[in-house]
């Protein structure tokens, strides 16, 4: 007699959606709780997600991408002004996101690792999105678009996470001068 084990098959997208829901509710990600919520074992969760950092990165990017898409859709200006407008709208919305503020305050080392290093892949995705925002706005920055997108994103990260870096917030107006200079319209 053969016994069949009942394994629940779960797509990676469902795991990310579960992580997004939990992050929005808690400002964190508890892998044991998520496994329970998804009705899978912890081992299965890690097999699908890879690591907590990777899953946090996927969840933060899903939320960030949604926020960025809204900022892009609300853009009213063309060119460099439009690029800056998207950045300002994104920054305003991210600052207003209570779960993100809780996460950065409660887990600064994890936040830095997930947001700024390859372990979370958020930074890499942000660079690619910024390159696309340049193109959508008809902005052709001087030099390699990916390198300029990298620098642009690093300046924006200083605005968004200045408190994480140095304990003090960088005002968007200060960063805007640097962003415009980078794009050749200071």
For the chain, the structural domain boundaries read 53-182
Cα R_g (the chain), whole angstroms: 19
Do residues 74 and 89 lie in contact, with contact meaning Cβ atoms separated by under 8 Å? Answer: yes
Taking Cα atoms as reference points, which of 177, 85, 153, 127 lies closest to residue 161?
A: 153
Note the pLDDT of residue 6: 47
Note the pLDDT of residue 186: 57
Provide φ and ψ at 37, rounded to 5°. -60, -35
Q: How many Cβ atoms from other residues are within 10 Å of residue 26's Cβ?
A: 14
Do residues 183 and 80 lie in contact, with contact meaning Cβ atoms separated by under 8 Å? Answer: yes
Note the pLDDT of residue 119: 85
The owner of tokens 């997108």 is: 149
Give long-range contacts, CB 8 A cutoff, 24+ apart: 104-113. Answer: 104/161, 104/163, 104/164, 106/27, 106/28, 107/28, 108/164, 110/53, 110/56, 111/161, 111/164, 112/161, 112/164, 113/53
Residue 132: Cβ-neighbour burial (10 angstroms; 0-12, 13-18, 19+): middle
Note the pLDDT of residue 185: 73
Q: Distance (Å, rounded) from C-alpha 88 to C-alpha 93?
A: 9
Taking Cα atoms as reference points, which of 93, 14, 104 lies closest to residue 59?
A: 14
What's the predicted TM-score (pTM) here?
0.90
Q: What is the pLDDT along the chain (186 residues), one digit of tens a residue?
A: 444 444 667 899 999 999 999 999 999 999 999 999 999 999 999 999 999 999 999 999 999 999 999 999 999 999 999 999 999 999 999 989 999 999 999 999 999 999 999 988 999 999 999 999 999 999 987 789 999 999 999 999 999 998 888 888 889 999 999 999 999 875
Do residues 84 and 176 lie in contact, with contact meaning Cβ atoms separated by under 8 Å? Answer: yes
């Amino acid at each position: 007699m053969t016994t069949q084990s009942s394994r629940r098959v779960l797509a990676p997208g469902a795991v990310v959606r579960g992580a997004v829901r939990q992050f929005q509710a808690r400002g964190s990600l508890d892998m044991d709780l998520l496994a329970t919520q998804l009705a899978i074992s912890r081992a299965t969760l890690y097999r699908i997600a890879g690591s907590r950092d990777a899953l946090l990165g996927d969840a933060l990017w899903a939320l960030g991408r949604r926020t960025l898409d809204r900022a892009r859709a609300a853009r009213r200006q063309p060119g460099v002004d439009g690029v800056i407008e998207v950045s300002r709208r994104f920054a305003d919305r991210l600052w207003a996101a209570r779960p993100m503020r809780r996460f950065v305050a409660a887990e600064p080392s994890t936040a830095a690792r997930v947001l700024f290093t390859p372990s979370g892949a958020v930074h890499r995705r942000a660079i690619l999105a910024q390159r696309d925002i340049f193109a959508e706005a008809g902005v052709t920055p001087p030099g390699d678009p990916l390198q300029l997108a990298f620098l642009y994103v690093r300046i924006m990260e200083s605005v968004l996470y200045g408190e994480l870096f140095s304990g003090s917030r960088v005002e968007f107006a200060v960063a805007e001068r640097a962003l415009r200079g980078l794009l050749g319209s200071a």
